[in-house]
C-alpha cells in the first residue's frame, strides 16, 4: 500500500510540474544567423535568421547604427516594412527562417543587420550579421598634396585611403627613381625623409590598392629649396676682334635666383656692347647668356656669372681671350672695321675653299 501511494504521488507531482518544464523549454531562441558577408557593389546577399518557439512573438530585422536614431527598421514578422525595391523578405514556416534579401548592393548597405525576437519591452533576444561591401580605395583629402622644404630639413609625406578591404599604401617616384628611403618602392602611410637633399625633389606617387578596381593614386610634389649651384660649359672662350661671342652659365637653384654678369666688379646691363638673356628650362634650372657685341680690346678678360637667392649665392668665371681667326658661331655675321667694307666669316670660308680647288687643279 505504501509503495502504491508513493507511485501515485510521484505521478501526480510529474503531471503538476510538466507544464512548467515544457514552458521553460519553449522560451524563444535564435538557432541560426548568417555569418559575416563580404560582397561586391551591385551584387546580391541573403541574410537568414532561424528562430525556435517564437510563434507568439514578434521577429524583426533592423539595420543598426551608431545610435538608436541611426537604426533602420526593415521588417516585422513575414512583412517587409522598408519601401525599397532592392529589399525583400521570405519566411519559411517549416524551419521558422526569416530571409532578408538585398539586391544591387550599394556602398551604403554595409553595416550590421540584427535579427530580434521581442519578448517584452525590456527583454529582447538578438543576433547580428555584419555585411561588408567591397569598395575601391579613395585617397583621403587629409593626405599630403604638395610640400616645400629647405635642404637638410626633415620632411614627412602622409597618405591615407578609405575602402574595403583596407587598402595598402605604396610609395613610388617619377620614372621609378630611387626613393630617399632606398629602393624603388616603400610601403606605409607615412614616407619620412630625415634630411632632404635637392636630389630628392620631384614627383612622388602615393598608390592605394585593395584588389578592388584599379586602386587610386595621388601625385605629391616635393620642392626642395637650395642655394644656387653654377656650372660653366666653356670656361675659356677665344674670339677675334670686332666679332660677337656668347658666354654661358647654367644655374641650378630654388627659389629661382637673381642672376647678374660682372666684369671688373662692374655689373653689366643690356646696351650696344652687351646683351644678357635668361632662359628658364624648369623651376630649378636657368640658362644665362652674355653676348659680347663687336668685341673691342678692353672687353677681353674675366667675366663672372653670379646668382643669389634666400639660401645663398654662387659665382663662376668665364675668360674671354683674343684670337686671330674668328670663331663661328656666333661670329657668322658681319664684322666692321671702322669705315672699311665688311667681310663675312662665311665669305672667308667660301673664298678659302675656291682657292683650294684652283690650287689643286693647277697641281694636277
Q: Which CATH number does the domain housing residue 130 bear?
A: 2.60.40.10
Classify residue 332: in a domain, yes or no: no
Q: What is the domain extent for residue 262?
A: 232-322
Mean pLDDT along residues 187-214: 95
Report CA torsion sign: 300, 302, 304, 305.
positive
Shared domain for 275 and 210, answered yes or no, is: no
pLDDT digits (tens, 9 = 90+) for 217-253: 999 999 999 999 999 999 999 999 999 999 999 999 9
What does the pLDDT read at residue 213? 86
Shared domain for 155 and 110, answered yes or no, is: no
Does the pTM surpass 0.85? The reply is: no
Mean pLDDT along residues 292-298: 96
Classify residue 2: in a domain, yes or no: no
Q: Of the candidates 226, 260, 281, which is a domain's last residue?
A: 226
Range of 3-17, 275-289, 294-308 with top mean pLDDT: 294-308
Give the whole-number percent of the chain exceeding pLDDT 90.
76
List C-alpha distances in Å: 72 to 47, 112, 264.
16, 11, 85
Range of 23-37, 63-77, 165-179 with top mean pLDDT: 165-179
What does the pLDDT read at residue 68? 67
Q: How many domains does the chain have?
A: 3
Shared domain for 189 and 164, answered yes or no, is: yes
Classify residue 266: in a domain, yes or no: yes
Shared domain for 269 and 255, answered yes or no, is: yes
Shared domain for 215 and 162, answered yes or no, is: yes
User: 145 pLDDT band (50/70/90 cuts)?
Assistant: very high
Classify residue 120: in a domain, yes or no: yes
Cβ neighbour number for residue 288 with a 10 Å cutoff: 21
Mean pLDDT along residues 90-104: 95
Sort 196 into a burial class: Cβ within 10 Å, 0-12 / 13-18 / 19+. Answer: buried
Whether 140 and 207 have beta carbons less than 8 Å apart is answered as no
Strand partners, 219: 205
User: 69 pLDDT band (50/70/90 cuts)?
Assistant: confident
Classify residue 350: in a domain, yes or no: no
What does the pLDDT read at residue 19? 42
Shared domain for 174 and 215, answered yes or no, is: yes
Classify residue 129: in a domain, yes or no: yes
Classify residue 14: in a domain, yes or no: no
Shared domain for 257 and 304, answered yes or no, is: yes
Shared domain for 236 and 286, answered yes or no, is: yes
Contacts (Cβ under 8 Å, ≥6 apart) of 268: 260, 261, 262, 274, 276, 290, 303
Q: Of the candidates 307, 322, 337, which is a domain's last residue?
A: 322
Shared domain for 104 and 117, answered yes or no, is: yes
What does the pLDDT read at residue 60? 95
Shared domain for 36 and 102, answered yes or no, is: yes
Q: Of the candidates 104, 135, 166, which is a domain's last residue?
A: 135
Give 3-state DSSP helix, strand, coil % of the chain, rounded to 5. Answer: 15, 50, 35
Inform me whether the pLDDT recorded for 340 exceeds 60. Answer: no
For cell 553595416, the residue is: 111
Amino acid at each position: 500500500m505504501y509503495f502504491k501511494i508513493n507511485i501515485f504521488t510521484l505521478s501526480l507531482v510529474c503531471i503538476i510540474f510538466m507544464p512548467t518544464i515544457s514552458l521553460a523549454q519553449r522560451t524563444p531562441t535564435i538557432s541560426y544567423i548568417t555569418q559575416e558577408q563580404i560582397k561586391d557593389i551591385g551584387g546580391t546577399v541573403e541574410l537568414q535568421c532561424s528562430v525556435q518557439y517564437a510563434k507568439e512573438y514578434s521577429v524583426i530585422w533592423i539595420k543598426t547604427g551608431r545610435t538608436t536614431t541611426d537604426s533602420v527598421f526593415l521588417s516585422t514578422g513575414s512583412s517587409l516594412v522598408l519601401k525599397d525595391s532592392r529589399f525583400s523578405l521570405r519566411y519559411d514556416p517549416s524551419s521558422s527562417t526569416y530571409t532578408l534579401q538585398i539586391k544591387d548592393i550599394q556602398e551604403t548597405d554595409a553595416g550590421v543587420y540584427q535579427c530580434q525576437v521581442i519578448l517584452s519591452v525590456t527583454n529582447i533576444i538578438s543576433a547580428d550579421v555584419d555585411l561588408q561591401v567591397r569598395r575601391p580605395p579613395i585617397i583621403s583629402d587629409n593626405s599630403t598634396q604638395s610640400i616645400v622644404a629647405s635642404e637638410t630639413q626633415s620632411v614627412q609625406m602622409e597618405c591615407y585611403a578609405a575602402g574595403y578591404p583596407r587598402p595598402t599604401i605604396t610609395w613610388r617616384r617619377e620614372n621609378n627613381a630611387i626613393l630617399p628611403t632606398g629602393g624603388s618602392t616603400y610601403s606605409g602611410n607615412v614616407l619620412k625623409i630625415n634630411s632632404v637633399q635637392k636630389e630628392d625633389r620631384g614627383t612622388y606617387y602615393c598608390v592605394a590598392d585593395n584588389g578592388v578596381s584599379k586602386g587610386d593614386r595621388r601625385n605629391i610634389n616635393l620642392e626642395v629649396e637650395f642655394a644656387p649651384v653654377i656650372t660653366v660649359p666653356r670656361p675659356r672662350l677665344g674670339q677675334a676682334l670686332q666679332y660677337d661671342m656668347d658666354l654661358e652659365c647654367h644655374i641650378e637653384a630654388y627659389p629661382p635666383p637673381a642672376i647678374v654678369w660682372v666684369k671688373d666688379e662692374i655689373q653689366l646691363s643690356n646696351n650696344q656692347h652687351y646683351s644678357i638673356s635668361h632662359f628658364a628650362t624648369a623651376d630649378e634650372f636657368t640658362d644665362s647668356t652674355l653676348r659680347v657685341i663687336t668685341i673691342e680690346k678692353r672687353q677681353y678678360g674675366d667675366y663672372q656669372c653670379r646668382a643669389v637667392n634666400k639660401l645663398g649665392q654662387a659665382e663662376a668665371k668665364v675668360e674671354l681671350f683674343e684670337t686671330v681667326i674668328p670663331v663661328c658661331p656666333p661670329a657668322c655675321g658681319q664684322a666692321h672695321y671702322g669705315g672699311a667694307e665688311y667681310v663675312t666669316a662665311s665669305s672667308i670660308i667660301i673664298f678659302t675653299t675656291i682657292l683650294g680647288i684652283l690650287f689643286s687643279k693647277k697641281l694636277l
